Amino acid sequence: MRAIVTGGAGFVGSHLCEALLAQGHEVMAIDDLSTGSRDNVAGLLDHPHFTLFVHDVTEPYFAPADRIYNLACPASPVHYQRDPVKTVVTNVVGTINGLRLAARTGARFLQASTSEIYGDPDVHPQTEDYCGNVNPIGPRGCYDEGKRCSETLCFDFHRQEGVEIRVARIFNTYGPRMAVDDGRVVSNFIVQALRGEPLTIYGEGQQTRSFCYVQNLVEGLMALMENPTETGPMNLGNPVEFTIRELAEEVLKITELDLPLVERELPADDPKQRRPDITRAQQALGFDPSIPLAEGLRYTVDYFRTRVNRS
């Protein structure tokens, strides 16, 4: 099949392109390289079935496609808050352009949505029928509400235009190819540790997250795309919950470093708890996020050792 992956030079997108190529598909990665990187797909550029198209998805584009994976959007607070208006436009206009292409070509369209749909949740763990607790005018609103609108567009195109859609709500994901400066908690802790700096936690570090290794997430995305009946929305993530303090301690254990933890004030609208209920994904897809945090962190630390030494 011919697959388009918008955001294909990003952290998750590059792993997805690699996995699709391994299955024998033709892959076009579309990325404006604002947060993605050529380095992430450097090993794919000579592949006869891979194309990197440097393009902003807020501008219309056309290519033949059987599958469209829409991952184009800054995904870390540091990046999406840098230009919040652009973040909203990327989510809304970028999704419209992808859905219009799907309508034109008959492609199946997968939207990479997010656990941020649920905001700072009042329900724990989060199930797909929970509508969320989101602040639409806070500093995270550009991403949270942008993704919520993307989901709306998917279902409206499905109802109005007959587009085949799949909506995945992605929970915290980590692994090789995360950007050194992306500000996400896993990369922050690893980079600080490898630089011999204190690890910064916010509040007392008792807020929780559930961390899914990127390989497991990609398996879930591809399984959802190829499921014949499921539209979603469907949670994809690892349901094993850790406090941020526990994550910091695990990073120090793996790096074999003895560094202090420094507490800072919690940012606005930072979720206190985050854990997916993945019952639907387990039943419909056989989804099994099998790589435990300690193992995935070892792979990720090995990757960052080379990146931090170069930076």
Among 118, 143, 174, 213, the one annotated catalytic:
143
Beta bridge partners of 52: 29
143 catalytic per annotation: yes
Strands 241-243 and 208-210: antiparallel
**Of 272, 267, 197, which is closest to residue 189 (Cα–Cα)?**
197
Lookup: tokens for 100: 């219009």
Torsion over CA: 150, 228, 162, 29 (sign): positive
Dihedral through CA 237, CA 239, CA 243, CA 248, nearest 10? -50
Helices 141-161, 84-105: crossing angle, 10 deg rounding: 20
Catalytic residues: 143
